Amino acid sequence: MIDAATTAEAIHRRSFFFKHLRAVTPKAREAARTTEIPIVRTRYEEITSGALSFLLLKKDGYKVGEELSLPEYADGKATGRTLEIKVSYIWEDWTGLDDDYCILGFQLMSYTPLAAAGEYADQPTLQPRA
């Protein structure tokens, strides 16, 4: 048999745990979100060369400051090259832009060069010039 003090302590600990669990869970879930947007080789080259600094995408709750991963695909298979970008602006609800789409402006954070995607996979990723 459990005495009243032990029961009260157990109830306190359980309520404390669930109170904090609910407070932390949405943030943890958001922090764990890793968004991958597959791209083709031509887009990969345009972004790494600096010719492309925005994407037209279906709305998916993107936020300014969010970091996204863009793996390159060719012939339906991942090539091993990946871009890491950071969203710098979002255009929504513009005349001529479908309600389900947005334009993301971004900053290139890092990318995997062609050699690192295959034979030299242990090489570090390159950082763009500031």
Q: In this predicted structure, what is the pLDDT of residue 22?
A: 47
Measured from the Cβ of residue 39, the count of other Cβ atoms closer than 10 Å reads 20
Answer whether 0.95 is exceeded by the pTM.
no
Reduced to 3 DSSP states, what percent helix, strand and coil does the chain have, rounded to the nearest 5? 30, 35, 35
Cα 59 to Cα 36: distance, rounded to the nearest angstrom: 14
Q: Which residues of the chain have a pLDDT value below 50?
A: 16-25, 29, 119-124
DSSP state of 51: S
For the range 88-96, what are the long-range contacts, defined as Cβ-Cβ under 8 Å and sequence gap of 24 or more? 88/64, 89/64, 90/62, 90/63, 90/64, 92/59
Q: Which residues pair with 107 in a beta bridge?
A: 86
Q: In this predicted structure, what is the pLDDT of residue 8?
A: 63
What CATH code is carried by the domain that includes residue 105? 2.30.130.30
Per the structure, the complete domain to which residue 20 belongs is given by 1-32
Measured from the Cβ of residue 85, the count of other Cβ atoms closer than 10 Å reads 22
Whether 124 is covered by a domain: the verdict is no
Query: What pLDDT, in 10s, does the model give residues 28-54?
Result: 545 555 689 999 999 999 999 999 999
Clarify whether residues 23 and 80 are in a common domain: no
Q: In this predicted structure, what is the pLDDT of residue 76?
A: 86
Total domains in the chain come to: 2
